[in-house]
Amino acid sequence: MRITDLSFRYGRRAPWVLTDVSFELPPGTVAEVTGGNGAGKSTLLRLLAGAVPPGRGSITGRPPVVGYAPEIFPVEQAFTARAYLGHLAAVRDRPAAAMDLWAERLGLTDLLDTPLRDLSKGSAHKVGLVQALLAPPGLLVLDEPFSGLDERTRAELPLIAAEVAAAGGIVVVSDHQHGLAGHPGLLRLTVAAGTVTVTTFETGLVEARTLEARTTEPRTEAAAAAGLGAGRAAPAGEPDGEPVPHPRQAVVEVLVDAADAEAVVGKLRADGYQARLRAHTPSEGAS
């Protein structure tokens, strides 16, 4: 996807928010958009998602399926979450099961029958995320998705971003909290004074070396398809205890803060993965 000489303002007499911005987002990119309040992050995201047309310049190569979750989900609608998401699933030619799977993954299942206007801010935000993910997106644009989310759901977002990217999609997330900071190869788009500066991070805290077991479908489906579901017998270990993966399994190495290690292992196990803590030397982190 290519952004060329893009300029935008909200009215003919309004000040320019972006001026002559050019950059590329190759397939598989995960990008975080940062910048001060009012810098133009949400505006850039609306433009990338196609929610507003460019004033000048062009955006080409946008993938056909775009999932976009604006910063504020409009709750003033006379539907339950289930009716709203079910309708969108039908419009996008997706089965209702897609809604159920994403609702489960984002911790929304128990609230699906709640009217939208009665949802808390964080839960309404989750409805916005589920609708963006209903159809596997070639471009996923999330405006401040970490804001107001509970810890469990926050932990899912970097995984979802990595899965969309591993399937060849582009992920663009505005985020004051650097929630995707660990993603290897992360692009940072810094918006300031009408320009966008692009920085690439070659490695991050989380090194996902093998992601072929992932798809853009929720983990439960992906894990089942890859034979990684809960209850699958662990392969026999070698004498030193190193697990031997089944041919349809893959090993994903995840490097995390030491303080989070046990919690991450516990979470992976709770999700049905075989996970273990292993000794780590600092030099490994640079690989």
Spatial separation of the C-alpha atoms in residues 85 and 98, rounded to whole Å: 10
Using the minimum distance from each CB to ligand ATP, give the nearer residue, 40 or 137. 40
Minimum CB–partner distance for residue 39 and ligand ATP (Å): 4
Nearest to 85 by CA among 102, 70, 64: 102
**Coil/strand/helix, residue 269:** helix
Minimum CB–partner distance for residue 157 and ligand ATP (Å): 18
Nearest to 185 by CA among 64, 37, 26, 56: 26
Minimum CB–partner distance for residue 8 and ligand ATP (Å): 9
Minimum CB–partner distance for residue 97 and ligand ATP (Å): 34
**Coil/strand/helix, residue 189:** strand
Q: Which residues contribute to the site for ligand ATP (CB under 6 A)?
A: 10, 17, 35, 37-43
Minimum CB–partner distance for residue 52 and ligand ATP (Å): 9
Using the minimum distance from each CB to ligand ATP, give the nearer residue, 43 or 80. 43
For 186, the token pair is 């992360």
Using the minimum distance from each CB to ligand ATP, give the nearer residue, 43 or 153. 43
Residues in the chain: 287
CB-count exposure of residue 102 (10 Å: 0-12, 13-18, 19+) = buried
Using the minimum distance from each CB to ligand ATP, give the nearer residue, 10 or 199. 10
Question: Is residue 21 within 8 Å of residue 5, measured between CB atoms?
Answer: yes
Using the minimum distance from each CB to ligand ATP, give the nearer residue, 44 or 223. 44
